[in-house]
């Protein structure tokens, strides 16, 4: 059942991100082949002007091996997850930095350092949420999944922020009126299923709070992505069967969904954390180069977006 089809870079995403000036990016944990290969490719695409945080000796050795010129590239020495994360966060606090990229560093240490007050990324009163921009080979239309990586059991306020951040992301990739499906396991609000009650409340809230999107729920997954399934169940709404954004009820659902798309459909999963002063590229150490490069491209498109309230 595991797909052997190669992962494809989303061409439309890369085309949108290729214009304009390169963004100053702090790459935390740069001393690995796959990370520096992604940096090399992102430079070639005009996406970033990198600042490399890691072991300088290893960085130089790998760069020589893969043909990455380090001329004019700032390198900051650090080793070990805690030091890498802290050093990178300190550099990210500078005004000229436009994004942070996770390299070979543990996610917990990486995010903990970036969310400190000293890093200046987390904004007062805002909530930071994660989005996956998913594309399947042969299909350029993306599917955005939020939040499958940062917020474990989001409350209503966090889900509201997730919707706003995901809608901003959709606008950044030229989806003018994105359709947001609020997922549950039912199409009817049921008190015994809290996610369905949240979905109904979010649908009502969004009518005034998110005028530049269609938000609807609760919807089960099939009725969010399949017009035929929605029609069979008599669900008549623009979001049903034609969604752009899936708001998942919790991190387990989002994590399972994106990984099923990756492993069963060879989807390219571009991941970014939004809602702060600058976007954070959050990839897994197991991600292929295509997902890393697409994530950087996605973050570049989000640099000018305002954080969610």
**pLDDT, tens digit (0-9, with 9 covering 90-100), for 283-296:** 887 788 899 999 99
- 294 lies in a domain? yes
Strands 129-135 and 99-102: unpaired
- 230 lies in a domain? no
Could you tell me which of 181, 150, 175 has the C-alpha nearest to residue 163?
181
Residue 292 sits in a domain whose CATH number is 3.40.718.10
Q: How much is the mean pLDDT over the chain?
A: 94
- 5 lies in a domain? no
- 193 lies in a domain? no
- 295 lies in a domain? yes
**pLDDT > 70 fraction of the chain, expressed in percent and rounded:** 98
pLDDT score of 304: 57
- 82 lies in a domain? yes
Sequence-ordered list of residues with C-beta below 8 angstroms from that of 87, at least 6 positions apart, any chain: 28, 53, 76, 78
- Quickly state the pLDDT bin for 87 (edges 50, 70, 90): very high
The residue segments making up the domain with residue 83 are: 11-178+244-302
**pLDDT, tens digit (0-9, with 9 covering 90-100), for 232-282:** 999 999 999 999 999 999 999 999 999 999 999 999 999 999 999 999 999
pLDDT score of 140: 83
| Alpha-carbon gap, residue 34 to 104, rounded angstroms | 9
Mean predicted confidence (pLDDT) in 148-155: 94
pLDDT score of 309: 38
- 46 lies in a domain? yes
pLDDT score of 306: 44
pLDDT score of 32: 93
**pLDDT, tens digit (0-9, with 9 covering 90-100), for 19-66:** 889 999 999 999 999 999 999 999 999 999 999 999 999 999 999 999
**pLDDT, tens digit (0-9, with 9 covering 90-100), for 203-212:** 999 999 999 9
- 209 lies in a domain? no
- Quickly state the pLDDT bin for 307 (edges 50, 70, 90): very low
Structural domain count, the chain:
1
| Alpha-carbon gap, residue 28 to 269, rounded angstroms | 20
Question: CA dihedral in degrees (166, 128, 282, 7; nearest 10)?
Answer: -10
- Quickly state the pLDDT bin for 124 (edges 50, 70, 90): confident
For residue 305, pLDDT over 70 is answered with: no
């Amino acid at each position: 059942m595991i797909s052997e089809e190669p992962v494809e870079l989303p061409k439309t995403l890369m085309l949108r991100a290729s214009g304009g000036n390169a963004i100053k990016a702090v790459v935390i944990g740069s001393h690995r082949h796959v990370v520096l290969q992604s940096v090399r490719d992102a430079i070639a695409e005009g996406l970033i002007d990198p600042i490399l945080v890691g072991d300088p000796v290893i960085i130089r050795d790998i760069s020589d091996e893969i043909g990455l010129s380090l001329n004019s590239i700032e390198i900051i020495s650090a080793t070990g997850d805690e030091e890498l994360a802290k050093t990178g966060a300190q550099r990210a606090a500078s005004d000229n930095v436009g994004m942070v990229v996770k390299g070979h560093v543990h996610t917990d240490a990486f995010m903990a350092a970036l969310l400190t007050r000293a890093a200046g990324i987390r904004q007062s009163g805002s909530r930071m949420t994660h989005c996956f921009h998913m594309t399947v080979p042969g299909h350029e239309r993306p599917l955005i999944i939020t939040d499958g990586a940062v917020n474990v059991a989001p409350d209503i306020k966090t889900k509201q922020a997730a919707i706003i951040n995901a809608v901003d992301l959709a606008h950044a990739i030229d989806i003018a009126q994105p359709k947001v499906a609020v997922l549950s396991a039912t199409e009817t609000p049921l008190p015994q299923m809290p996610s369905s009650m949240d979905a109904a409340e979010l649908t009502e809230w969004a009518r005034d709070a998110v005028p530049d999107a269609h938000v609807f729920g609760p919807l089960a997954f099939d009725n969010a992505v399949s017009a035929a399934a929605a029609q069979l169940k008599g669900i008549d709404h623009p979001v049903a069967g034609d969604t752009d954004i899936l708001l998942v009820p919790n991190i387990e659902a989002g994590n399972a969904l994106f990984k099923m798309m990756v492993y069963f459909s060879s989807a390219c999963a571009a991941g970014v954390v939004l809602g702060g002063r600058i976007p954070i590229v959050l990839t897994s150490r197991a991600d292929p180069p295509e997902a890393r490069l697409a994530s950087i491209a996605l973050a570049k498109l989000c640099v000018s977006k305002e954080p969610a309230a």
